[in-house]
Chain A
Amino acid sequence: MTSPSTISIDTRLGVVGALIGVALVAGVFLQGGYLVTVIGFAAIYGIFCTGLNFFMGYTGQASFGQNAFAALGGYGTAILCAGLSWQPLIALPVTMVISGLIAAAVGYPTLRLRGHYLAMATFALGLITYELSIEWIDLTHGYMGYAGIPPLGIGTYELSSDRQQLLALVAVLLLGVWIANRLRDSRFGRALRGIAGSEAAANALGIDIARYKLAAFVIAAVYASVAGSLFAHFIGFISPEVFGLSMVTASFTMLYLGGIGTIWGPIIGAVVVSILPEAIRHIAAMVPNAPSNLKDFQEILYAVLLILILIFFPKGLAALPGMIARWRETKSEKGA
């Protein structure tokens, strides 16, 4: 070995990743403006996807309806904070508990289904919630949406600026990642990952599959609820479309792009998917004499980029360190 460094490639890449993350947040914080909203959305989606990762990544199940719980969180927050003038910090845990209980009640019968059937049932769950948010006008204000939701705050102190809220979102995201990491690397997390690997083997080793699937589903729902609540506080306004089907497709893209089943994959995916359209738009704006229908091409370019990433990094961007490590290994072998 000629390399003087004894620090592993994972550690070094971790440091690089952390630096990029800090630089991103700090840069956006200093720059301000529209980018704060973009990164704020990325953080909210990061929380949502970190939760979804428990169910779809660690446990290997499919849910097309996790947007239902984001809607529960968002509307719960809107009704409690804007309608009933509750404190955000009291409303947040209350909506989390409600979402968790509803997830348990809905998941108990639903999770007996497997594969495509489970996917369809959860999909229906999202659609039902969406319809409810449109039709139950007394409660949700229907298509009009719910306005006047206060930002996060304690007592009379409110995080009035976007920048303060961005920091709060990032703090919640990091807490969510820390919890996920703690749970993943434990008896509980290993049981989930065992179920993803082989239900037959997990069963033979005495793992209560139904119970662990339900636990993962409820955890995912609570994360989704928090994401919905934070969205409501951050933007101050919600409507049924916010928690519609686009939330499902966006979160799936983020999970698979970033690396499903990994700790940082959902975050990487959330950031890339949030920034990519903005970056494309920015670059497109610099093209001289651009045709007027350039906007249509942006969508196509975005889709092509996503497909390329998935072709070259099928296990997601979070698998990049491993790929680099292997590449360096084979290179040093050839050099030796």
Chain B
Amino acid sequence: MSLLQVQNVTKRFGGLTANDSISFEVPESTVFAVIGPNGAGKTTLFNAISGFFPPTEGRIAFDEQDITGAPQRKIAERGLVRTYQLVQLFKDLTVTENVLVGFHLVTKGAVGAALWRPRWMREQEARIREEARELLAFVGLSAQADMQADTLPYGQQRLLEVARALAAKPKLLLLDEPAAGLNTDETQALADTILRIRDRGITVLLIEHDMSLVMQIAQRIVVLDFGKKIAEGTPAEIKAHPDVIAAYLGSPEAADA
């Protein structure tokens, strides 16, 4: 059963076709990757899927429901949570507070509950604080729990963003270039974390510019080039695919030379 179905999704900005009739299906409990060179239309596709903007044409179904053109907040409510290419942390909040905000969708209570603090509210607060501790342990940020978010090194900021997204208890986690700007050790820690997220039963769809992380953790890969899907398959299939090699290295003749 596929959790996410992308059918003939096209996105045009004026005369520019950023996504040209792209289709694929993401099976449940897998790590699925979308790769391609710069400007291939990966982030545009992500934005269309996550509801950041609607696609010009095509249909997107998540968990057997049509989410095409739905606002991002509604899509998040259904269990599709994304991160951004540029880290978007709540900088003035502590690491723990960042994760606590992540629980917004799976908690309740507004002004009244905050003022009177009925028992359910206090219990909810205690529960999410405990869960936040677990999530920070899960991504390896326990020691940094009380630090202000923007004092973390970049690699840890990425992990915090992942922990915060997990707090919303997504079925599908969209990671937009999570390894961008990370060093080798940090990338390895991230790869390890993504696999453990999948082991929790959460499907991961990630965009990566660079192939090494993807080849290591993805079960299935879609390759975009100039807005078109040029290949889909397992890492081994993608590595051997002539169009992919051409897209990344130029034509095979040029690569041989």
Real complex partners, A and B?
A: yes
The chain B residue sitting closest to A261, CB to CB, is B92
Q: Is A235 an interface residue (CB 8 A)?
A: no
Give 1 or 0 for each of B94-128: 1 = CB within 8 Å of chain A CB: 00010011111101111101110100010011000
Known A-B contacts A205-B101, A205-B164; A198 and B73 likewise in contact (beta carbons under 8 Å): no
Chain A residues within 8 Å of B82, by CB: 204
A200 touching B109, Cβ below 8 Å: no
Chain B residues within 8 Å of A193, by CB: 90, 92-93, 97, 101
A196 touching B92, Cβ below 8 Å: yes
Q: Is A334 an interface residue (CB 8 A)?
A: no
A208 touching B89, Cβ below 8 Å: no
Give 1 or 0 for each of A176-215: 1 = CB within 8 Å of chain B CB: 0001001100111111011011101111111111000001
Q: Is B196 an interface residue (CB 8 A)?
A: no
Known A-B contacts A197-B93, A200-B84; A191 and B114 likewise in contact (beta carbons under 8 Å): no
Give the distance to chain B from A107, nearest Cβ to Cβ, in Å: 15
Is chain A's binding surface mostly helix, strand, loop or mixed?
A: helix
B76 touching A206, Cβ below 8 Å: yes
Chain B residues within 8 Å of A198, by CB: 88-90
Chain A residues within 8 Å of B109, by CB: 186-188
Give the distance to chain B from A255, nearest Cβ to Cβ, in Å: 15
Chain A residues within 8 Å of B72, by CB: 203-204
Q: Is B91 an interface residue (CB 8 A)?
A: yes
A191 touching B101, Cβ below 8 Å: yes
Chain A residues within 8 Å of B124, by CB: 187
Interface size class of A (residues with CB under 8 A): 20 to 34
A190 touching B97, Cβ below 8 Å: yes
Give the distance to chain A from B114, nearest Cβ to Cβ, in Å: 3
- Interchain CA distance A209-B105 in the complex, whole Å: 13
- Interchain CA distance A197-B121 in the complex, whole Å: 24
Give 1 or 0 for each of B130-144: 1 = CB within 8 Å of chain A CB: 000000000000000
- Interchain CA distance A202-B100 in the complex, whole Å: 12
Choice from B73, B97, B117 contacting A207 with Cβ under 8 Å = B73
B114 touching A188, Cβ below 8 Å: yes
Choice from A182, A196, A203, A261 contacting B115 with Cβ under 8 Å = A182
Among B73, B101, B121, the most chain A Cβ lie within 10 Å of the Cβ of: B101
Q: Is B77 an interface residue (CB 8 A)?
A: yes
- Interchain CA distance A201-B157 in the complex, whole Å: 13
The chain A residue sitting closest to B111, CB to CB, is A188
Known A-B contacts A191-B104, A197-B93; A205 and B111 likewise in contact (beta carbons under 8 Å): no
Q: Is B222 an interface residue (CB 8 A)?
A: no
Chain A residues within 8 Å of B111, by CB: 183, 188, 215, 219
The chain B residue sitting closest to A218, CB to CB, is B111
Q: Is B156 an interface residue (CB 8 A)?
A: no
Give the distance to chain B from A315, nearest Cβ to Cβ, in Å: 10
Chain B residues within 8 Å of A261, by CB: 92
The chain B residue sitting closest to A210, CB to CB, is B73
A205 touching B110, Cβ below 8 Å: no
Give the distance to chain A from B135, nearest Cβ to Cβ, in Å: 14
B77 touching A206, Cβ below 8 Å: yes
Choice from B90, B92, B115 contacting A183 with Cβ under 8 Å = B115
B84 touching A201, Cβ below 8 Å: yes
A190 touching B100, Cβ below 8 Å: yes
A187 touching B107, Cβ below 8 Å: yes
Chain B residues within 8 Å of A201, by CB: 84, 88-90, 161, 164
Give the distance to chain A from B9, nearest Cβ to Cβ, in Å: 19
B73 touching A179, Cβ below 8 Å: no
Among A187, A191, A196, A202, the most chain B Cβ lie within 10 Å of the Cβ of: A187
The chain B residue sitting closest to A215, CB to CB, is B111
- Interchain CA distance A14-B110 in the complex, whole Å: 28
Known A-B contacts A188-B109, A194-B90; A205 and B114 likewise in contact (beta carbons under 8 Å): no
* Given A186-B121, A196-B90, A204-B81, 19 further pairs, Cβ under 8 A: A179-B115, A182-B115, A187-B109, A187-B113, A188-B114, A191-B104, A193-B90, A193-B92, A194-B93, A197-B93, A198-B90, A204-B72, A204-B83, A204-B84, A204-B165, A205-B104, A206-B76, A206-B81, A219-B111
Ranked nearest first, the 8 interchain pairs of A and B with the lowest CB-CB distance are A197-B90, A186-B114, A201-B88, A206-B105, A206-B76, A198-B88, A194-B101, A188-B114
A–B Cβ pairs within 8 angstroms, 15 of them: A187-B110, A187-B114, A187-B125, A190-B97, A193-B101, A196-B92, A197-B91, A197-B92, A198-B88, A204-B84, A204-B165, A205-B101, A206-B105, A207-B101, A215-B111
